[in-house]
Structure 1
Amino acid sequence: MPTPLVECIPNFSEARRPEIVEEIIQVIQSIPQIHILDRHSDLDHNRTVITFIGPPAAVEEAAFQAIACAAQRINMDEHEGAHPRIGATDVVPFVPISDITMQDCVEMARRLGKRVGEELSIPVYLYEEAATRPERQNLENIRRGQYEGLKAEIGINPERQPDYGPSILGTAGATVIGARQPLIAFNVYLNTNDTAIAQKIAKAVRHSSGGLRYVKAMGVLVEGRAQVSMNLTNYRGTPIARVMEMIRREAERYGVGVHHSELVGLIPQEALNDAAVWYLQLDQFSPDQILEQRLMELMRGQPPTSAPLENSFLDALAAATPTPGGGSAAAHTGAVAAALVAMVARLTLGKKKYEAVKERMWAILEQAENLRAALLRNVEEDSQAFEGVMQAFKLPKDTADQEQQRQQAIEKATLEASRVPLITARHCLEVQKLAIELAETGNLNAISDAASAATLARSALTCAAYNVRINLTNLSDNSEAQTLTTQLKEIESQSDQLDSSLKQILGERGGLK
């Protein structure tokens, strides 16, 4: 199967101390499977943009480590630069590149934001596709007042409440994290040092002032020249050539011209193709006419046919060995149910019809993924617990002391072997609850998937209960066994009630009988 690839383009409020920039780069590169594609430092902006790519988990970890490093090395109370900023790591966008969806990137942004808020105590705001409020989709709204303004308002103004982390700024400031489509950072330098002209041109071209739809722009002074600094958020909707020509014409009004332009970071090939077609007036152009494009297609060849993946857990389950056994199978089935819950939650998110339950769906998704991870751990823990029982039975019993020690070890191991499937049963009950809530409020088109998740969770719970009971029969401590049995019966009672609710929901909402 192809490896999913995500691009991350963190912006750091540092460019004048190259040793710190290099330290951040080294931290990013230390994560396996991460490839840095580009770095761009601007001394006037006092800002560095690093572009890297890799599998989702690796990219997420690299972003966190980079934020942590920047927080230690950059003091926002001492920072000065022409570019707006609110934090040492100012903004971290995730961009889907291949075999990954925008929804996946939004989930990455939320996970990273929560971790940064909790572990680094840095306020985090979600933006663009990950925004929790409509007004926060636009980065400029979050950056209003910059670091100094946010520092004065964050604990006072409810509108400045972060999505994650404390409502107070430390020297690392705040970080904006999100998911977006590919963006082109494009700057045009004028043959003047009059910043006012650049500001007037920026106002004319940017969308918020009535200009071009997918253009964000501001006028600044960089390296002694007036610069129109821009982000092009949709190069298909507003081609780069159109932006350039509008700047030329606006500059003529003030008796100046374009000195040169620059890219910050990377640009999609398609955007350059469109610019070339526009300026050269190429009719009926096809990307296949590009020599390198044709060569890449030939070198790539046909994708290999993928062989069926070996399911190692099922193979181990089918083997003639005591472990993994029924307890592990129960946990594995519970994890499958949790995965279905996550799927239904994702199918509900982003649908206008279900906007009212959006935040609840995010909460369900997070809980489902946590339960899936916990149940997968239970798979291994159940096998380990039973192996502990078998090891206890193998202890020597030649003397009275050895027999006593052996019996105590068996008792302890058996108790653990009872507790692990009981934990699995609890986890499965939580999955069942989430699945039934989705059947009631989630995407109606996926109601059968929610029902399947609930049924699988209930079945896994029942299997786990069998394993609890069989182990409890071997306990000599009746009081401990009674306590665990009471807990198990309560779990099963709740599961029975939920199952009855599911049948009613399926009949009323889904028309299933």
Structure 2
Amino acid sequence: MSVLKHSKQSRNMASSSLGRRLVACLLNVSEARRKDLVESVAKAALYDTEGVRREGTTVLNIFNDHDYNRSVITIVASVDSIRDVVLSACEKACGLIDMHAHTGVHPCMGAIDLIPIYPLGEEVGVEDCAKEARAVAQGLTERVQGTGAFLFGWADSPLQRGLAQRRKEMGWFKKTPDLQAIRPDVGPQPQKRFGLTGVGASPYVMNCNVTIDTQDIATGRSIAAAIRESTPGGLPGVQVLALPHGGAVEIACNVESVKGSPPSHVTAGEPWPSYSIGGQSYCHAPASLITARVAELAGMQGVGVKGTALVGFTPLECRGLAELALSHGIAEFWKEQRGIRM
């Protein structure tokens, strides 16, 4: 029987939880123009060096962006195995990507630019994710000589600084970051070939990119500033960059999950998807609200919206699709996901 016919049954299994202690890693690698290379990194997470499949692991999605020259690989596994899974993918990537030759409009500092670990249910605790993130950072710098890492979120003990703050401190937003001026949290001074990697753990962060129909980057930056969390009246949990993209401007949003319920004045009457970790409730701004806010601000400047893209999934979608993939033993789920309806 096809996977598609089983989707309703698997959705029910997901809602009842199979106790897999699942976590997701949205691995950000600084390559998108060689898709075969990126797929080989994804497969390194799924299969050992002998080609034997790692049980209980799936790659749900591979998002490639040519202009950014950046890919996001959505890996899901048990928190007890995520360390080896992710490190295998990182070793492969570092062997194939040379930052001396990298070009792209998206800021980045490393061949593996970001390793975030997110719990996908109540079965996994905050400290579980923090511990594994710190172990991944240590393992990466030991296995690949010349790599360095900084920590963020729950892994950054005791301060637990957010990703945006840590990136700013490391110079990630600069056009040409100075690796020699960086003091990594883990590992030695990073070599240019590998660069610096951010490693951390937090509630799920969704990526939502809205393209506006203009090439004026100043217009994009004004919109980004208006919806950014740090701006009065901005959207909670939303971190934003405006970047040139495909002959237009993309409002690229990291949508962080926030504790509790959002203030009523920012919801516009639209419910925010919610879930819990360790008994603590979290929610995140829906993509539809972000798109509507961008469209409103762009329209005030006579600019239209061309479209919205989610890089991967919402937290609930990620959990549900992971249960579906693992229930049917699908490792390379990204190849089949277009034919599946949850």
Q: Which runs of 4+ in 1 moved over 6 A?
A: none
Displacement of 1:108 in angstroms is: 0.3
1:185-214 CA-partner distances (Å, limit 9, x unpaired): 001111222222111111111123442221
Structure 2, unaligned runs of 5 or more: 1-17, 48-53, 258-271, 273-282, 325-342
Question: Is residue 202 of structure 2 the alignment partner of residue 180 of structure 1?
Answer: yes
Q: 2:66 aligns with which of 43, 51, 58?
A: 43
Contact 1:191 1:257 in 2 (8 A): yes
1:153 aligned residue (181, 188, 212)? 181
Q: 1:79 to 1:209 in 2, by over 3 A?
A: farther
Richer in helix (by share): 1
Deviation at 1:56, TM superposition (A): 1.8
Q: Which amino acid aligns with 1:149?
A: P
Percent sequence identity over matched residues? 28
Partner of 1:207: 229
- Per the alignment, residue 46 of structure 2 pairs with 29
1:267-416 map, 5 Å = 267-269=314-316
Verify the 8 A CA contact 1:37 1:52 in the aligned structure 2: yes
Please, which of 131, 147, 152 is the counterpart of residue 127 of structure 1? 152
Given that 1:72 and 1:172 are in contact with CA atoms closer than 8 Å, whether structure 2 keeps it comes out as no
Q: 2:140 aligns with which of 108, 113, 116?
A: 116
Aligned CA distance change for structure 1 residues 200 and 251 (closer, same or farther; 3 Å): same
Which residue of 2 is the match for residue 303 of structure 1? none
Q: Give the equivalent residue in structure 2 for 1:259.
A: 306
Do structure 1's residue 192 and structure 2's residue 214 form an aligned pair? yes
Gaps in structure 1 of 5+ consecutive residues: 155-160, 272-291, 297-513
Moved more, 200-209 or 43-52: 200-209
CA separation of 1:111/1:269 partners in 2, compared to 1, >3 Å: closer, same or farther?
closer
Aligned twin of 2:30: 13
Aligned equivalents of 2:205 and 2:139: distance in 1? 25
Greater displacement, 145-154 / 90-99:
145-154
Q: TM-score, normalised by structure 1?
A: 0.49
Q: Secondary structure at the match of 1:219?
A: strand
Name the structure with the higher strand share.
2
1:247 Cα deviation from its structure 2 partner:
1.1
How many Å apart are 1:230 and its aligned residue? 0.5
* Structure 1 partner of 2:84: 61
Partners of 1:144 and 1:150 within 8 A in 2: no
Aligned length: 267
**Higher relative contact order (CA closer than 8 Å, sequence separation 6+):** 2
- Conserved? CA contact 2:45–2:88, under 8 Å: yes
Aligned CA RMSD, in angstroms, stands at: 2.3
**Equivalent of 2:291, from 240, 244, 262?**
244
User: Where does residue 263 of structure 2 map in the other structure?
Assistant: none
CA distance in structure 2 between the aligned counterparts of 1:258 and 1:70, rounded to whole angstroms: 35
Structure 1 residues 187 and 270 mapped into 2: Cα distance closer, same or farther (>3 Å)? same
Q: d(CA) in 1 for partners of 2:70 and 2:118?
A: 20
CA distance in 1, matches of 2:35, 2:250: 23
Superposed CA deviations along residues 471-504 of structure 1, whole A, max 9, x for unmatched, are xxxxxxxxxxxxxxxxxxxxxxxxxxxxxxxxxx
Q: Give the deviation of 1:40 after TM superposition.
A: 0.3
- The aligned amino acid for 1:129 is W
Choose 1 or 2 for highest CA Rg: 1
